Amino acid sequence: MIPKEAIRKTVDFHGSGYLPSAVGVHPGFLHEKTPEKVARINELIAAAPLEFQVFINCWHNQDTHKDGITYRIDEWGTKWEDHGTGMFSTYHPMEEGYKHISGVRFPNANDTSRFDIARAGFEKNPDCYAAGGVWFTLFERLWMLRGFENMMTDPYDNEDEFLALKERVMEVNLAMIDKWLELPVDMICFSDDWGSQRGLLINPEEWRRIYKNDYKRMFEKVRSAGKHVFMHLCGNIFEIIPDLIDIGLNILNPVQPQAMCLEKLSKEFRGHICFNGGIDVQGVMVSGTPDDVQAAVHRTIELLSTPKGGYIVGTSHSIMPETPLDNVIALLEAVNKYK
């Protein structure tokens, strides 16, 4: 069975007997540089089958580099910097008020050049499970335009302007989904970090009132085309998982055990949604032993998978730079045992 078919069966709980994995490892990002260990990591990466092709960043960004820092202006006009540990936003084009909406460059989904890299990848590897993305989907896109504190209060202090801006973003998102669905994708990926490590950033009833229907509109468009819906939601979003299942979410990522108890997730939702992630990058990957890491991999698979599927092996987020290479090797060796 080719990966595309096997992964679809896993996500749909159709019992393929296959355990997909999506473990991202970039040795150059890690502090430790022991050559023989890096070589072993690269060997293990090469030994794993190519299962997924994921193209989540389809925006036209402008990057410049100076003194080791990457400066970015994204297609929406938000500015970013990367000092070597990841991008963070430094400028929000509407932070000073809604009067600045005229300066926002709402992307044109009909600019099909944004899909050229994905199109070539899909053609090169037609048997891989293929995914496109509308990343920084709604809440994140809104606060990247207005600034975080403004976006938390706008639904109450500037309701009419907020709703108009939200709909402008939704128009772009829906058009982008349509364009992705013209390509041979199996899944559309969305992202909005709604959780802190303690709980939701807003009252769940307010999330349902203000945002749930927008996600439903996007998810239904994807599901009606026979494709899977994936969403990256950091933190503790336990209270809205039933809502996400209700509106059509197939795959929940990244499943952070220091934010949500894996046992509780297993008890409440195992078999109802496909999990992706769960292997703790904050704890065991950084401070555990290789044996601890391998045990965590087996335990996570046992808790989140079912005989019919429902789990894609993965870490709870990006592997941290301070992670020992021995633990990365242990992770990859444990995952590869299931292939």
Nearest Cα neighbor of 23 from 325, 313, 232, 330 is 313
Q: What would be the CATH architecture of the domain defined by 3-60+107-336? A: Alpha-Beta Barrel (3.20)
Give the span between the Cα atoms of 71 and 95, in whole angstroms: 19
pLDDT at res. 49:
87
Q: Is the pLDDT of residue 27 over 90?
A: no
Question: Which residues make Cβ contacts (< 8 Å) with residue 313, sequence separation at least 6?
Answer: 19, 20, 21, 22, 23, 279, 297, 300, 301, 335, 338
SS3 for 261?
A: coil
Model confidence, pTM: 0.96
Mean pLDDT of 137-148: 98
Model confidence at 212, pLDDT cuts 50, 70, 90, reads: very high
What are phi and psi for residue 237, nearest 5 degrees?
A: -115, 25
Question: Which residues make Cβ contacts (< 8 Å) with residue 36, sequence separation at least 6?
Answer: none
Q: Are 338 and 19 in contact (CB under 8 A)?
A: yes
Alpha helices in the chain (DSSP H): 3-11, 35-47, 116-124, 139-146, 148-157, 159-180, 204-207, 213-224, 241-246, 262-269, 284-287, 290-304, 325-336
Print burial letters for 137-146: b (CB count within 10 Å at least 16), e (below 16): bbbbbbbbbb
- Dump strand ranges (E) for 50-162: 52-55, 62-66, 69-73, 79-82, 87-91, 129-134
Mean pLDDT of 94-103: 94
Model confidence at 103, pLDDT cuts 50, 70, 90, reads: confident
